[in-house]
Amino acid sequence: VQANGNGSFGAVYSPTVTSNSGALTLTAAAGNENILLVPTGTGNVDVSSRHIVQLADPTNSQDAATKAYVDSG
């Protein structure tokens, strides 16, 4: 971990990751890599009633879609 709190971690074994100074950014190492959110069992991805923003237009049948995209169809 750097003095500013930034760091690279091979694995984090904790139920929470918290930013003490604003937005928490998860960035793939390089290239065109995915970031996976994988709950276990019957778990869900919960965004605590917040908005998901900067969503691309869907290209696959199971992709999420914005309200604007759906309303335009």
Unique residue bearing structure tokens 């965004």: 47
Q: Does the structure show a pLDDT above 70 at 1? A: no
DSSP letter, residue 66 = -
Encode pLDDT of 11-27 as tens digits.
Answer: 777 777 777 777 777 87
Query: Among 46, 72, 44, which residue's Cα sits nearest to residue 57?
Result: 72
pLDDT, mean over the chain: 84
> Does this model's pTM top 0.85?
no
